[in-house]
Structure 1
Amino acid sequence: MVDTTKIKEHMPVVCSDGGQFATVDHLDPGNTIKLTKDDQGLHHWIPTDWVTTVDSKVHVDRPGKQAVQDWSNSLPTGV
């Protein structure tokens, strides 16, 4: 399990194929990461379960295209 306390605002989020696909806005309760707004002005959320490592970047377990398809467009329910 990854130490999510290392996830900080404005860290790059990097997919498994090496490219940055997002930036951390903040860590939400309920094990989700809120991402900064995209080019359309929308926030997205990803589960912390995707995170494989945290150094100066947040690394996730899927390629960028899949990550963008799988992220949530709204705050997950129950959070």
Structure 2
Amino acid sequence: MISASDIKDHMEVKSADGQHIGTVDYLEGSESIKLTKSDSPDGEHHHLIPLEWVDHVDAQVHLSMTASDVRSKWTHLPN
């Protein structure tokens, strides 16, 4: 199981297929990662990724899902 304390602000988030998903802004509660909006595909919105999608953490946060799956299922936050 991944420890939320392993995930730090400004870490890169990568999908299972090696694509850049975003950059950690901060942990949203104890269950989600909030990505920076400046690194968002639209550059205007934050996105949330559940911690349960995290496969492992080293210098980066690695997800267990492909980039297309992540982008189709993440939570889009309004401004």
Above 0.5 in TM-score?
A: yes
Q: Tell me the C-alpha RMSD between the 2 structures.
A: 1.4
Structure 2, unpaired ranges of 5+:
none
Deviating beyond 2 angstroms after TM superposition, the runs of 4 or more aligned structure 1 residues are: none
Specify the alignment match of 1:26 in structure 2: 26
Alpha-carbon shift at residue 53 of structure 1 (Å): 0.3
CA deviation after TM superposition for structure 1 residue 40, in Å:
3.2
Equivalent position amino acid for 1:35 in 2 = L
The percent identity for this pair of structures is 39
Note if contact 2:53-2:65 (Cα within 8 Å) is conserved in structure 1: yes
Q: Which amino acid counterpart does residue 41 of structure 1 have in structure 2?
A: E
Q: TM-score, normalising length from structure 2?
A: 0.88
Cα deviation, residue 48, structure 1: 0.2
Q: d(CA) in 2 for partners of 1:62 and 1:4?
A: 18
User: What residue number does 1:15 align with?
Assistant: 15
Q: Does 1:68 align with 2:71?
A: yes
Q: Corresponding residue for 1:5?
A: 5
Measured after TM superposition, the shift of residue 19 of structure 1 is 1.4
Gaps of 5+ in 1: none
Mapped to 2, the partners of 1:6 and 1:18 lie a distance apart of: 20
SS of the counterpart of 2:75?
A: coil
